Structure 1
Amino acid sequence: MPELPEVETVRDGLDRLAVGAVVSDVEVFRDYSVRRHAGGPAGFADELRGRRLAAAVRRGKYLWLPLADQTEPAAALLAHLGMSGQLLVRDPAVVDDWTHPHLRVRLHLDGAPSGARYLDFVDQRTFGHLSVVDLAPTPDGAPGGHGSPLAAVPEPAAHIGRDPLDPAFDVDAVVAAVRRRRTGIKRALLDQTLLSGVGNIYADEALWRARLHFARATDRLRPVEVRRALDAATEVMTESLAQGGTSFDALYVNVNGESGYFARGLAVYGREGEPCPRCGTPVRRDAFMNRSSYTCPVCQPRPRAGRW
C-alpha cells in the first residue's frame, strides 16, 4: 500500500497539473470503485460536475481535492488508493480513445494548468475507492493537511493523526502519547490515530536507523528513544520523497505513470539474509501482523523476555 512519500508524490503532481480545472463530466466504469459514496455512481458524478478542483491536499496517506464553486469548499473528492490505486493526469497529446485496462473512473477536465483532458483513477486490485465527502473543521484550527491553508479535513479522515512532515505535528505530544501505550514501538508507529503516514516499509527503515527492535515496549522506552524513532521516520520519508517514493512493481506510479526509486536505498526492508549496511550482519525477517518485519539482529537486539 502506498505510504506517505508515495501519496505526497501523487499530491504534488495533482497540484501542478490538475488543480484549477473544472470537472465537466464524470464516467464511472466500475461501480465498486465509488462504493463509499452514499449516492452511488450517479450521485458521485452529479456532485462533481461543474465543480473546480481547488487544491490537492494530503494528511498521512489520505489524499483529497477540495471542491469549489462560488463559495469556500465544504466538500472534497477523497481518494483512497488501496493496494494498487493510481491517479493519472492524462497529457493532451495522448489520443482520446486510449484507455487503461484497469480504468475505473474518469474525470473530464476543463482549464487544467497543464492542458490535461482527464484525471483517471486506475486500480488493478480494486481495493481503492473515490467518494465525495463533507469537510469538517480541524479541532486545532491549523490547516487540515499539506497543500492547502484551509482548516478542514474530510470527515472520514478526521480521526487520523497528523504526520511527521506536517508543520502542525506536535512531536512532544506524540512522544507522550506513544509512551502511554502498552504496545510495541512498531505497532505504535503504524497506529494512524497517533501519527499518520508511516507504513510497514518506513517503520522498518526508521527503527533500523533508530537502532530499536520493533517489539520494544513503548511504556519502557525513554522519551529520547521515542523521539529518535520519530526523527528517523521523518528523515527516511523525506529522503524517499526526494526520489519519488518506493516502487517494487508497476502498481505504484506518480500522476505521469513514472515509478519511484527509493527501493534502491532501503537498508533492511525486503533484504532478508543480505548484510546490514551498518555492521554486515545478515538481515532477519520476522512475521508481524500478517506481514513481515526486517531487522538487524546486532543493531536492533530483540528485547529480553518480560520486557516486550
Structure 2
Amino acid sequence: MNGAMDEKYTNSSLDTSVPVIDEWITSSDGVKIYTRTWNAISDKPIATVVFLHGFGEHIKRYNHVFDKFARENIEVYAYDQRGFGETAIKNKNPGMTGGWKVATNDITEALLSRRRDGIPQFLMGHSMGGGLTLNYATEGPERHKVAGYICSSPWILLSSNAPQATKRDVLLSVVAPVLSMFLPNVVINTDVDAKYISRDPVEVDKYKEDPLIHNIASLSSLVDMVSGGKLVINKEYTNVTFPVYIAHGSADLITDPKASKSFIEKIKSEDKTFIEWKDRYHEMHNDYGNTEIIQSYIQWILKRSTLESNK
C-alpha cells in the first residue's frame, strides 16, 4: 500500500524456514493495516504474490501455505483486511470492511507497493478474497499489469446445497439490503458453521478456538459482498484475457463451485484453468491432501513466471 510504514519486525517465533516480516502500515486514507510478508529464499524472487484472505479470518492462518511458496522463490505479501484479524482489533471495528470500492483501492495500493521491475506479480485470494480477486481481474485499475489470478473457493455465489440455504438467501438478498439502507453500520453474526471448512477435525477445532476469527459483518459490508459476487457472475466480462486459475472443492458447502466454473467458461482468456477437487471442503489448504493443492498453486505460478520471463 502507498501509506506510511509504522512498524517493521522479523517474526522469528513462527514455525517456518523462511524470513517472515510483519509490518503495520497506514493506508492512504489513514487506516492502520497489519501486513505479513513471506520472503523468497533469494534476493530476487521468480515471482511475487499479493494475497487476500477470506471472510472472518486472517493472514496468520497461511504460514504453512506461504512458507512453501517462499521456498520455491515466490515472495508473498498479505494483509488483514479491514474489519478482520489484527487490523480489526487495532481499529476497533470488527466486520466493518468499507465495501468493495474501499477493498479495491487497498488491493491497488498493495499491488503498487510490492511491484518489482522485471518480476511477474500475481493476485491471489481465498473465499471472500477470491471474489475480490476476480472482481479486480474484471475492473481493477492495475489489472492489466498483473501476470495472473489465482482463486481458492472464491465467493461468487454462496452454496445452494448448504443447510438452511433458503433462509440464508432470504436474509442476504431481501432483508439485509432493506435494513442496510437505514442501519448500514449495524453488525450481525453470519453464523458460518466451522464444520464445513475442512474434513479434518483438528483444523475445525483450530478454527473454533482462534481468537482472531469472527463471523460478524456490518449490514452494508455484507450486502456489498453478496451483490459484488452476483455482479461478477452476471456480467459478460470479455475483457478478462489474463491467466486465471480457480480451484474449488466439489464438497464445498460455503461457496458454490458451479459459480466458479461458470465464471471460467464466460471469460475470454486463452489461459484459464478450473479444477474441481473431489470431496474437498471450503478451505482446501487446511483439508486432507492439502500439499497437493498448495503445490498446484505454486506450479501454476512458476510456469507462468517462466513464460513472462521469456517474453
- Shorter-chain-normalised TM-score: which range? under 0.3
State the TM-score, normalized to the length of structure 1.
0.24
Q: Identify, as 1 or 2, the structure richer in helix.
A: 2
Give TM-score, length-normalised by structure 2. Answer: 0.23
Greater C-alpha radius of gyration: 1
